[in-house]
């Protein structure tokens, strides 16, 4: 068996075109100009790249973005005051605080200060908790992107064995809850899991977000499985790879997402989606 390769870039492009058109409708028919505020504290090089990419994607979709770049020694109180001001600003539909934050700042204080209905990253405790009952205001972007990819590829979720490798707050845990909400039988594996392969072999759908290049080899994958690789790892030779031995596993899976070009382009796309939805809600439009 040789897997079909999911073209995340193409799916993301198609969705972004749809969102751009919805943005124009909001502007033209409802007088609403969707906008996001992005807060970056300090000079973490990777964060600067992520923020730049998010802002460029907003521009391309017609979403207004405003960057608040604060120095690394910004007192927490000042950051919270900035969030309060953005919460109160009716022109701001989404607020994103880029992580990680400098050591002296309490991340949970910051994330919980963001108004739930502007929390387009889906990191507020209310949105995290809402995943348990299927009532989030905004789902977190990376697992939401995976869900959209699976939907796009018509992958059946109900009753399937799903194994999620990686139990992070940003990807693994929310991913597991989202798939459980769709009636999958879900197992979460993590750093302390003994004999990972005995679990992954059961997976009809295997989602890997461990941050370990080459972690998943063909012997750990059931023939015909759907394999979604959320890992993004930079090798010493500069190559970007996922957590899955792509060349090996693609000979065994039925469907596989590559790195780069799989889940990656979907994460920012879901940020655009959440910001658009936030603005559409103001206009009384309730949709997907």
Q: Which entry of 98, 147, 160, 181 is annotated as an active-site residue?
A: 98
Q: Which entry of 7, 118, 119, 121 is annotated as an active-site residue?
A: 121
Please identify which residue in 98, 160, 269, 278 interacts with ligand GUN, judged by CB under 6 A: 98
Please say if 98 is a catalytic residue: yes
Closest distance between ligand GUN and the C-beta of residue 47, in Å? Answer: 7
Identify residues 105-134 at the interface with ligand GUN (CB under 6 A).
121
> Beta strand pairing status for 255-256 and 226-229?
parallel
Please identify which residue in 5, 20, 70, 99 interacts with ligand GUN, judged by CB under 6 A: 99
Please say if 54 is a catalytic residue: yes
278 binds ligand GUN per the rule CB under 6 A: no
The three-state secondary structure class of 191 is coil
Q: Which entry of 54, 148, 173, 252 is annotated as an active-site residue?
A: 54
Nearer to ligand GUN, 1 or 49 (CB): 49
Secondary structure (H, E, C), 63-95: CEEEEEEECCCCCHHHHHHHHHHHHHCCCCCEE
Output the CA–CA distances (angstroms, integers) from residue 161 to 78, 95, 146, 150, 194, in the order listed: 46, 35, 16, 14, 19
96 binds ligand GUN per the rule CB under 6 A: yes
Nearer to ligand GUN, 121 or 280 (CB): 121
User: 228-232 — which CB contacts under 8 Å span 24+ positions?
Assistant: 228/6, 228/146, 228/149, 228/150, 228/256, 228/257, 228/262, 228/263, 229/256, 229/257, 229/258, 229/259, 229/262, 229/263, 230/142, 230/146, 230/166, 230/171, 230/175, 230/263, 231/259, 232/259, 232/260, 232/264
Cis check for the bond before 100: say yes or no (omega within 30 of 0): yes
Nearer to ligand GUN, 1 or 72 (CB): 72
285 binds ligand GUN per the rule CB under 6 A: no
Residue number closest to ligand GUN, CB atom? 99
Compute how many residues bind ligand GUN; rule: CB under 6 A: 6
Active site residues: 54, 98, 121
Residues that bind ligand GUN (CB under 6 A): 96-99, 121, 141
């Amino acid at each position: 068996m040789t897997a079909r390769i999911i073209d995340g870039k193409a799916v993301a492009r198609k969705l972004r075109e749809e969102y751009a058109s919805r943005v124009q409708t909001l502007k033209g028919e409802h007088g609403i100009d969707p906008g996001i505020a992005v807060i970056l504290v300090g000079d973490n090089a990777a964060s600067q790249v992520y923020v730049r990419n998010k802002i460029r994607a907003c521009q391309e979709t017609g979403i207004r973005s405003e960057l608040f770049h604060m120095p690394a020694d910004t007192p927490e109180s000042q950051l919270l005051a900035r969030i309060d001001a953005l919460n109160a600003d009716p022109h701001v539909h989404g607020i994103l605080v880029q992580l990680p934050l400098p050591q002296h700042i309490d991340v949970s204080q910051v994330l919980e200060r963001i108004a739930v209905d502007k929390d387009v990253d889906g990191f507020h405790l209310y949105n995290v908790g809402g995943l348990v009952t299927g009532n989030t205001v905004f789902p977190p972007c990376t697992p939401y992107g995976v869900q959209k990819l699976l939907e796009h590829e018509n992958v059946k979720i109900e009753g399937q064995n799903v194994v999620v490798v990686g139990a992070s707050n940003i990807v693994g845990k929310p991913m597991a809850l989202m798939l459980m909400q769709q009636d999958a039988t879900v197992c979460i594996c993590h750093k302390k899991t003994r004999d990972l392969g005995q679990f992954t072999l059961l997976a009809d759908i295997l989602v890997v977000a461990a941050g370990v290049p080459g972690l998943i080899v063909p012997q750990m994958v059931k023939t015909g499985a759907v394999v979604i690789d959320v890992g993004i790892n930079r090798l010493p030779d500069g190559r970007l790879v996922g957590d899955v031995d792509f060349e090996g596993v693609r000979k065994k899976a039925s469907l596989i997402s590559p790195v780069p070009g799989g889940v990656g382009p979907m994460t920012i796309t879901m940020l655009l989606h959440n910001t658009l939805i936030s603005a559409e809600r103001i206009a009384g439009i309730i949709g997907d």
